[in-house]
Amino acid sequence: MVLSNDLAALIGFGAEASLWGIYTVVFLVSLSVLVWRRRTRDINWVIVSANCFLYFLATTHYAIEFNHFYTTLNAIGVDGFANETQQLAGADLLISLTDFVGDMVLIYRCWLVWGRNWYVCVLPFLAALAGFACVCGVIHLVVAVAPTAPVAPAALVPLGTAGYALPLCTNVMVTSLIVGRIWWTSRGAAQNAALRSTASTTRKAMNIVVESGALYLVAQLVLVVLFALAHPAQAIVAVMAVQIYGIAPTLIIIRVGLGVTSDQTTKDSGMTHISWTRPSQNRPFGQSTTFFNTVVTTVTQTDEPVPVGEAMQMKSIDSQTDKDSISMPV
């Protein structure tokens, strides 16, 4: 059976509805981690605002798709369901806008990890901005040339492919910069017995960034390939991607706040709770000394962690050749 554009659009709506439900739960949990479990002065309001804005964009996109689902099926049925409308053009724009905001959150974290170094963020920012501009151009041309086309005309496919590929490059660059900075700063900790717990903490931080980034990477890569091939399945992946753009950065917040990574087991003798915090405003520009907040726990005979101490700050990680340290913003 050949997948038609109308069927693909219907499947995509069902998939997005499921992901939006998941995102809603994830978003509420992230608010608990960001706000309700912290003192007011420790809250990073930039991340809180961006987190809420991402959820607002994803919810608005789902609302537009739900309205189209209800009104179109009621009016004309399945045939023509995937045809472009002004409302769907707005939903298409929201896909790239959500992607762009998610990239800005990731770039903001990279900026903090690199000691507020603007030069590191210039290329990823330009790539994300160029990708958003390309998609805006495609949407404008589609509305002007083929306003009811369910997929972009062949002449616009290269521009649209660039619009989705550039944010993918941004994600890969920024994730690599964050992970590379963490690794470089903590490279001497593994050889120092006194700093082995610090090395374990940084490995978990790298796992969190890489694993959450992989979710975005897979979704965006599949979307780029399907769009380049002009395959009807792009209608499925595109609407799913808008929810994933919000879920991926929100998962970083939750996993850091709860100290959960893939290599953590109940057999560990302790658990480290990583808290990503904003650098002090009193620090000179370019200086990268920040702290990991950790919570020390023990494991009972039933393998349940029991807190035995209040939050305390670890010393900055001393490398073999310098004394740089890093911050992981939530």
Sign of the Cα pseudo-torsion (239, 241, 244, 249, in order): negative
The 3-class SS string of 181-195 reads: HHHHHCCCCCCCHHH
Q: For residue 69, what are the contacts with CB-CB under 8 A and spacing of at least 6? A: 10, 13
Task: Report d(CA 109, CA 194) in Å as an integer.
Answer: 28
Residue 47: CB atoms within 10 A of its CB come to: 22
**How large is the greatest C-alpha to C-alpha distance in the chain, in angstroms?**
70
pLDDT of residue 194: 55
Fold that domain 5-258 belongs to in CATH = Rhopdopsin 7-helix transmembrane proteins (1.20.1070)
pTM of this structure:
0.76
Contact 326, 288 (CB under 8 A): yes
Task: Report d(CA 150, CA 90) in Å as an integer.
Answer: 14
Six token digits for residue 5: 């554009």
Q: For residue 189, what are the contacts with CB-CB under 8 A and spacing of at least 6? A: 195, 196, 198, 199, 202, 317, 319
CA 63-84-69 angle, 5° bins: 35
Question: Helix or strand or coil: residue 294?
Answer: strand
pLDDT of residue 193: 53
pLDDT of residue 113: 87
Residue 137: CB atoms within 10 A of its CB come to: 15
pLDDT of residue 205: 67
b/e per residue 202-231 (b: at least 16 CB within 10 A) = bbbbbbbbbebbeebbebbbbbbbbbbeeb
Contact 322, 189 (CB under 8 A): no
Angle between helices 234-258 and 5-31 (to 10 degrees): 10
Q: For residue 167, what are the contacts with CB-CB under 8 A and spacing of at least 6? A: 96, 99, 100, 103, 127, 128, 131, 132, 220
User: Chain centroid to CA 316: how far?
Assistant: 27
Residues of the chain with pLDDT under 70: 1, 37-42, 188-202, 205-206, 208, 211-212, 257, 259-330
Task: Report d(CA 234, CA 230) in Å as an integer.
Answer: 7
Task: Report d(CA 13, CA 15) in Å as an integer.
Answer: 5
Task: Report d(CA 26, CA 221) in Å as an integer.
Answer: 23
Return the half-sphere exposure (C-beta side, CA atoms, 13 A cut-off) of residue 34: 24
Task: Report d(CA 327, CA 113) in Å as an integer.
Answer: 5
